[in-house]
Structure 1
Amino acid sequence: MTEAVLEVSNLSKSFGGVDAVRDVSFALAPGELLAMIGPNGAGKTTCFNMISGQLSPNRGSIAFRGADGERRELVGLRPREIWRLGVGRTFQITATYPSMTVAENVQMALISHNRRIFNPTRLARALYRDRALELLETVGMAEQADRAASILAYGDLKRMELAIALANEPRLLLMDEPTAGMAPQERIELMKLTAGIVRDQGVSVLFTEHDVDVVFAHSHRVMVLARGQLIAQGTAEEVRADPHVQEVYLGGGTTFGHGAGEAEHV
């Protein structure tokens, strides 16, 4: 049996007595594209923030198995420590350097990954450019390497962010609302690109998404959160047919087969 890249057990987080996430457990296999969906306020982003170290859970375990095969507990580690273990992440709102070029943005991530950020012996723009171009080629952005990030179209900005997230050679990639704000065709292209990276590089991906058409078209498995609890998980067909899931989405104002909702707030 293949050992999971990520094992989450009884993960829980409350804010002021309100349970944002309650006893969530799941596992992510190597090379799997796993979607986490749910209505606004379901706890998706809170889960992501606990896995990446930006929030500490009240209880539960988050175990990550890196490229060396060693199983490590992520609870208690800082975001940078988790990133260095091989966990990449993209965000709902892109966090890039608009004054830098596309290549320089990726180079900054590579400099950090290679622990050269405090080494003043060479100009930063000369470091790891070839590797940056390779990553940009992976996401279809090599031709725009020398453009300023500030003038990129939004879809291209998202692809650049994906290249940045790949700079630490992640075994696990967390993508929080990767297609938020994108046009329908851009959503399809980005998720096709992500699915190709999963297939070609064996990266495991956990992503949240409001556009269920994107979810059902590209994910290997789907899990559904509602009011902080995991209410269903399985294949797209199993989740689509689940009466409880249908009830939750109808109650939240979203029906299967129709576009994205608002951004996650909890």
Structure 2
Amino acid sequence: MTVLEVKGLTKAFGGVHAVNGVSFSVAAGELLALVGPNGAGKTTCFNMLNGQIPPDAGDITLNGASLRGKSPRHVWRLGVGRTFQITATFGSMTVLENIQTVLLSHHRRLFDFWGRAARRHIAEGMALLERVGMASQADRPCAVLAYGDLKRVELAMALASDPRLLLMDEPTAGMAPRERIELMALTAELVREKNIAVLFTEHDMDVVFAHADRIIVLNRGELIASGTPAEVRADAQVQEVYLGSGAMFGHGPEGSP
């Protein structure tokens, strides 16, 4: 079943088309990788899907309902979760409190945050932490965690809102090779278990080829290839644009939109 459908998505900044007529879809339980060199338009595309910036043209639908013009909060309420290249947790709060905060918002109980909040959603939060391998660190402040552990907490926070679509921006950035493999294997297991659609960007092509069901490739804002990992690896245009120069295997941060 198609969860996300993007048609003709376009965004320009001045005379530069950061994203130009991009169309694709993501099905429930599918991991779709969005790849390309720095400046290809990946982050701009993500920010339009998430409601952070409005598209100039095109449409974005989640289970048939348009997301265009919706604020990030409304997009989140409709079932779109997101993780970020730089982890977004509350450092002074414990691991469990971070999960509880998301659960309180998801269940619309933030009004009770300063009252009985600490006693709410403990079992639900611990179940999520158990699932990502962080239950033993539930009482530790996020500020003292190793970076790989923070990524696991952020994944649990994203899953706490029970999303239908999960956007993951560079999920393994800054992690050691073994941690990257473990996190993406865990992510793949969880999203298929919960039948969540996943769109992720990633510079580590070993991670992409190992875990993506399909790959779409952007270059200068335009979609130049789409298919299975084997099909994309063999695509003549992808080889010409990326593989010859090695740009497809760069590990630097996303550049301009």
Give the TM-score, by structure 2 length: 0.96
| 1:196 counterpart = 2:208 | no
Task: Output aligned runs, 1:208-247, within 5 Å.
Answer: 208-247=201-240
| 1:137 counterpart = 2:130 | yes
Aligned with 2:171 (options 154, 178, 182): 178
Q: Quick one: which amino acid aligns to residue 31 of structure 1?
A: G
RMSD, aligned CA: 1.3
Task: Specify the SS of the correspondent of 2:247.
Answer: coil
Instruction: State the distance in 1 between where 2:158 and 2:114 align.
Output: 26
| 1:100 counterpart = 2:98 | no
**Aligned 8 A contact 2:104 2:113 in 1:** no
**Aligned 8 A contact 2:94 2:141 in 1:** yes
**Aligned 8 A contact 1:34 1:205 in 2:** yes
| 1:54 counterpart = 2:52 | yes
Instruction: State the distance in 2 between where 1:15 and 1:46 align.
Output: 10
Instruction: State the distance in 2 between where 1:168 and 1:208 align.
Output: 21
Instruction: State the distance in 2 between where 1:46 and 1:125 align.
Output: 37
Q: Specify the alignment match of 2:16 in structure 1.
A: 18
Per-residue CA deviation, residues 24-77 of structure 1 (Å, 9 max, x unaligned), is: 000111110100000001001111100010010001100001xxxxx2100100
Instruction: State the distance in 2 between where 1:227 and 1:115 align.
Output: 41
Instruction: For residue 251 of structure 1, report the CA deviation from its aligned partner.
Output: 6.2
Instruction: State the distance in 1 between where 2:39 and 2:88 align.
Output: 23
Q: Quick one: which amino acid aligns to residue 254 of structure 2?
A: E
Instruction: State the distance in 1 between where 2:199 and 2:113 align.
Output: 36
Q: Specify the alignment match of 1:36 in structure 2.
A: 34
Q: Quick one: which amino acid aligns to residue 17 of structure 1?
A: G
**Aligned 8 A contact 2:80 2:164 in 1:** yes
Out of 197-206 and 228-237, give the one that drifted further: 197-206
Instruction: For residue 120 of structure 1, report the CA deviation from its aligned partner.
Output: 5.5
Q: Specify the alignment match of 2:25 in structure 1.
A: 27
Instruction: State the distance in 1 between where 2:213 and 2:246 align.
Output: 25
Query: Matched residues, percent identical?
Result: 62
> How has the CA–CA distance of structure 1 residues 7 and 94 changed in structure 2, closer, same or farther, with 3 Å as cutoff?
same
Unaligned runs of 5+ in 2: none
Instruction: For residue 124 of structure 1, report the CA deviation from its aligned partner.
Output: 2.1
Give the TM-score, by structure 1 length: 0.93
Instruction: State the distance in 2 between where 1:251 and 1:96 align.
Output: 39
Unaligned runs of 5+ in 1: 66-70
Per-residue CA deviation, residues 96-151 of structure 1 (Å, 9 max, x unaligned), is: 10000000011111111111112357332222111111111111111111111001
Q: Quick one: which amino acid aligns to residue 150 of structure 1?
A: A
Q: Specify the alignment match of 2:180 in structure 1.
A: 187
Q: Specify the alignment match of 1:8 in structure 2.
A: 6
Instruction: State the distance in 2 between where 1:119 and 1:72 align.
Output: 31
Per-residue CA deviation, residues 178-205 of structure 1 (Å, 9 max, x unaligned), is: 0001110000001000110122111111
Moved over 6 A (4+): none
Q: Specify the alignment match of 2:150 in structure 1.
A: 157
